[in-house]
A and B are shown apart, each in its own frame.
Chain A
């Protein structure tokens, strides 16, 4: 069957960078995506799809679409299509007329359940006619974080749509959307190309774009920019790189400089000022220090860039002058005086001001330090805590919110604070994003934990816990931050202890056992998904360890690592069998169990298992407390694996005598709990070739959101 290509260009006024990314995502034809479904449900076959974008256009290019297809159109149900005599009704005639068909085209379905309908099959229906209906819907299926209206039609999009180019081979697909008629006309680069460019077909379309100075592939633009930057020592900033690639239709470059006196401004301020205001890249020297040189990316090559470069430099000069102004006015008073204003900033409705927050941080930090930071002085906590958030009030942080903490550090230095305290101020925000660095100092780690625990406790208390994609306070990220610090710094800490303490500081409603349970569940969940994302451990092993109690994250992590090292050994498999068999039989019984009564034993195997259990019990627990989980596992396997196998072969657990039965179950349950409570619930381990249905949803890998 002959096929052709589709070109669909949505021409717009300049789209925001993040909206370009959103549109490319929507047009990526991911499995199950709405746009893919639209084509599939209309039976439009294709081979490859490509999505491209510039600030002024979104492009969908599809290959090998058949020119025609056979389609089936469903009509009225048979009982309505024909009367009692079997003659066609008015309804059927109307259906035929509407579809330009006659009676012999009708297919009558056989007897079947439901309400079968008549249908007609149409052969060789041109796909062009179907695409004309689909393409306007494609536009509607691209969603943005913020939409706008621009004319009386009420259409919404990221920015106004101004032209539509739709070609199926050389044929124009004509339709109307938001008052615009689609055509075979595209537009060149805003300043370098022709304003209107008529195209003859798909391959000519790309030639025409090229001739009119449009680099339509955003990845290619990014590559062009990167290859220019990589010839120099640029301060790597991938976020800015992606954004800049979305701000131009054809990149070209300038190199400029600024007065060296501005290098006295803190590095982070220089970088923030350059990237935020002018989207320019700063260059570094061999040692990684910033130089007074920068690279700007222009939209299109100009012959004479001297004046443009001078203009960029003058603008930068004014910006840096402003940054210096902020810096000087902020340092007119010491940081602790700025801190006084914290009592004016509301932290969260119902949870007091930022001053209240820093008081809580101080208490939580005190609580944690007593347990796991013995070297940190109470005096340092008291000195640093009130300063942690003080920079929120300064002009620089109001101008560049991303510099919170960092400015606090510089201003604390200026106010003569000790190095440790200055570093703690900037480090208490770490890690700020998924792959960010962790605090390098004890005090920084301590405050980072305290601040994050407080945030989680507070927002859970007022019901603002994350749900689905909704996590405006980034609590998931903060939980991961807590867990990373605990694991990285080898900190043994009882989560339930800290969370309970945090909740006791909140007078907000909901600071109850329920909130505590929710928070601990949330943290445990994050722990599992974080380890899963690392890909080093099997998900079932993570689940089984998490199910065995994960109150001390660091210890749990060590346990996981150790179990992972013996997962392929026979002792592990034997322990798994012990846990699984005891689990299955106890769970199936589902009764309250009494204490074990030796007098009710009647079989030698019962005595043997019970003796073995008693012999190793305290050793086993001791080994677990020392963190030696593999020896503990060996221990229980040696003592019980064979005898328990014998037990299950010879002893009937579920006998009629209720007391005997309960007693036998009690013994098996004790063995199960010994392993599960101290190490892991190995009944959650998936065994190949076995039905794993009872594992339920918990065993599925979860996405970390």
Chain B
């Protein structure tokens, strides 16, 4: 059996051989690998760049009290960013699937249109959901815009849904029964977290506190931007974004308020992108 940690190891191995830097996930709650500074900032400039890493991802509204095999409020993405995108990038991706034990000829693999957009990051791209027997296992996107900036060099982002892939490989119908290794299941690691997380997000989160935190983070991010501190400003943007996601899941904000929160996060992200590009014209920012 291919264990959960084997999949990660094999993807690391595959992309390492493809010349990628194998990095680690970011340590601030975020909705996807796209929010990682190694994705967000590195997609802005025209320098060649290849990176792969596991990003723990938070989607409070997707929690289902550990009762749905496909939806969770916290899960793992394997994130790859390649710039410029090679002409055979789809083949490379399919090879990576073969490398983790998926034989595309024995399944129904499809690239189904998906016009991706992240309104909070001011980002958009075109590409596909990759279907494996009718389930989206990967998001495949050619970035066109990031942080509100039209991109000069086009990056290709490949985001694998690790749990879904593991379920197929291990023939499990429930995410929590995935074997992490021989003795430990995904459930052993995360069942309680998922259940309590859902209860907290949907039922016990104090909306006033989250709204208050949003304001604090937003203010701090703006202040740091003005000081020219790109990465600290960006980190507070991430925190604000997560506070908003929590509020959204709790269901206490109206549709108009929701749109205004998204716009506020986007303004922070755009400011960071702009600042990064300005600074980058003089010297490379180390991330």
Closest to B113 in A: A16
The answer for the CA separation of A55 and B113 in the assembled complex, in Å, is 10
Of residues 152 through 182 on chain B, the ones whose CB sits less than 8 Å from some CB of chain A are 153-154, 168, 173
Of residues 148 through 164 on chain A, the ones whose CB sits less than 8 Å from some CB of chain B are 148-152, 159-160, 162
B157 to chain A, nearest CB (A): 13
The answer for the CA separation of A321 and B64 in the assembled complex, in Å, is 10
B227 contacts chain A at the CB level, 8 A cutoff: no
A470 contacts chain B at the CB level, 8 A cutoff: no
Question: Does A311 contact B111, Cβ atoms closer than 8 Å?
Answer: no
Question: Does B68 contact A344, Cβ atoms closer than 8 Å?
Answer: no
The answer for the CA separation of A304 and B68 in the assembled complex, in Å, is 28
Question: Does A341 contact B254, Cβ atoms closer than 8 Å?
Answer: yes
The answer for the CA separation of A159 and B71 in the assembled complex, in Å, is 30
Q: Choose, from B7-15, B34-42, B127-135, B204-212, the stretch at the interface.
A: B127-135
Question: Does B108 contact A14, Cβ atoms closer than 8 Å?
Answer: no
Question: Does B256 contact A346, Cβ atoms closer than 8 Å?
Answer: yes
Chain A residue numbers with a CB within 8 Å of B113 are: 14-17, 19
* A315-B256 in contact given A13-B90, A151-B84, A247-B112 (Cβ < 8 Å): no
Question: Does B108 contact A150, Cβ atoms closer than 8 Å?
Answer: no
A453 contacts chain B at the CB level, 8 A cutoff: no
Closest to B164 in A: A315
Chain B residue numbers with a CB within 8 Å of A307 are: 106-107, 133
B142 contacts chain A at the CB level, 8 A cutoff: yes
Q: Choose, from A24-32, A95-103, A295-303, the stretch at the interface.
A: A295-303
Place the interface of chain B in its size category.
35 or more
B237 to chain A, nearest CB (A): 25
Question: Does A159 contact B126, Cβ atoms closer than 8 Å?
Answer: yes
The answer for the CA separation of A318 and B69 in the assembled complex, in Å, is 6
Question: Does B256 contact A344, Cβ atoms closer than 8 Å?
Answer: yes
A317 contacts chain B at the CB level, 8 A cutoff: yes
The answer for the CA separation of A325 and B87 in the assembled complex, in Å, is 42
Chain B residue numbers with a CB within 8 Å of A325 are: 64, 67-68
Chain B residue numbers with a CB within 8 Å of A160 are: 85, 87, 142
Place the interface of chain A in its size category.
35 or more
The answer for the CA separation of A298 and B168 in the assembled complex, in Å, is 17
Which residue of the partner chain, among A191, A278, A314, contacts B105 with CB atoms under 8 Å?
A191
Question: Does B105 contact A192, Cβ atoms closer than 8 Å?
Answer: yes
The answer for the CA separation of A19 and B133 in the assembled complex, in Å, is 23
Closest to B62 in A: A322
For B82-111 the 0/1 string (1 means CB < 8 A from A) is: 001101001000000000000011111111
Of residues 129 through 154 on chain B, the ones whose CB sits less than 8 Å from some CB of chain A are 132-135, 142, 144, 153-154
Chain B residue numbers with a CB within 8 Å of A240 are: none
Question: Does A150 contact B142, Cβ atoms closer than 8 Å?
Answer: yes
A345 contacts chain B at the CB level, 8 A cutoff: yes
Question: Does A315 contact B135, Cβ atoms closer than 8 Å?
Answer: yes
B188 contacts chain A at the CB level, 8 A cutoff: no
Find the residue from A190, A280, A317 having the highest chain B CB count within 10 A: A190
B115 contacts chain A at the CB level, 8 A cutoff: yes
The answer for the CA separation of A344 and B258 in the assembled complex, in Å, is 10
The answer for the CA separation of A159 and B127 in the assembled complex, in Å, is 8
* A345-B255 in contact given A151-B85, A312-B134, A317-B173 (Cβ < 8 Å): yes
Chain A residue numbers with a CB within 8 Å of B108 are: 296, 298-300, 302, 308
Question: Does A13 contact B133, Cβ atoms closer than 8 Å?
Answer: no
A286 contacts chain B at the CB level, 8 A cutoff: no
B229 contacts chain A at the CB level, 8 A cutoff: no
Describe A's contact surface by its main secondary structure. mixed
* A146-B68 in contact given A160-B142, A296-B134, A311-B168 (Cβ < 8 Å): no
Question: Does A299 contact B68, Cβ atoms closer than 8 Å?
Answer: no
The answer for the CA separation of A393 and B67 in the assembled complex, in Å, is 24
Find the residue from A159, A248, A393 having the highest chain B CB count within 10 A: A159
Which residue of the partner chain, among B71, B173, B256, contacts A314 with CB atoms under 8 Å?
B173
* A345-B111 in contact given A150-B85, A302-B105 (Cβ < 8 Å): no
Chain B residue numbers with a CB within 8 Å of A319 are: 70
Chain B residue numbers with a CB within 8 Å of A191 are: 104-105, 109
The answer for the CA separation of A152 and B85 in the assembled complex, in Å, is 10
* A152-B84 in contact given A17-B113, A318-B69 (Cβ < 8 Å): yes
Find the residue from A146, A149, A315, A317 having the highest chain B CB count within 10 A: A315
B257 contacts chain A at the CB level, 8 A cutoff: yes
Closest to B175 in A: A318
Question: Does B255 contact A280, Cβ atoms closer than 8 Å?
Answer: no
Which residue of the partner chain, among B68, B105, B111, contacts A14 with CB atoms under 8 Å?
B111
Question: Does A315 contact B133, Cβ atoms closer than 8 Å?
Answer: yes
The answer for the CA separation of A341 and B252 in the assembled complex, in Å, is 10
For B44-67 the 0/1 string (1 means CB < 8 A from A) is: 000000000000000000001001
Chain A residue numbers with a CB within 8 Å of B257 are: 344
Question: Does A149 contact B134, Cβ atoms closer than 8 Å?
Answer: no
The answer for the CA separation of A191 and B105 in the assembled complex, in Å, is 6
Closest to A392 in B: B255
Question: Does A311 contact B110, Cβ atoms closer than 8 Å?
Answer: no
Question: Does A280 contact B134, Cβ atoms closer than 8 Å?
Answer: yes
Which residue of the partner chain, among B104, B111, B255, contacts A55 with CB atoms under 8 Å?
B111
Question: Does B107 contact A308, Cβ atoms closer than 8 Å?
Answer: yes
Chain A residue numbers with a CB within 8 Å of B153 are: 152
Chain B residue numbers with a CB within 8 Å of A393 are: 255
B186 to chain A, nearest CB (A): 15
Question: Does B87 contact A162, Cβ atoms closer than 8 Å?
Answer: yes
Chain A residue numbers with a CB within 8 Å of B84 are: 151-152
Find the residue from B68, B111, B154 having the highest chain A CB count within 10 A: B111
- Other than the given A278-B134, A315-B133, 16 more pairs (CB < 8 A) read A15-B113, A148-B144, A150-B85, A191-B109, A192-B105, A277-B134, A302-B105, A307-B133, A308-B108, A311-B134, A311-B168, A312-B133, A321-B69, A322-B71, A344-B256, A345-B255
User: Which 6 pairs show the lowest CB-CB distances between chains A and B?
Assistant: A344-B254, A311-B133, A16-B113, A14-B111, A148-B126, A278-B134
Could you list which residues of chain B lie within 8 angstroms of chain A, going by C-beta atoms? Answer: 64, 67-71, 84-85, 87, 90, 104-113, 115, 125-126, 128, 132-135, 142, 144, 153-154, 168, 173, 254-257
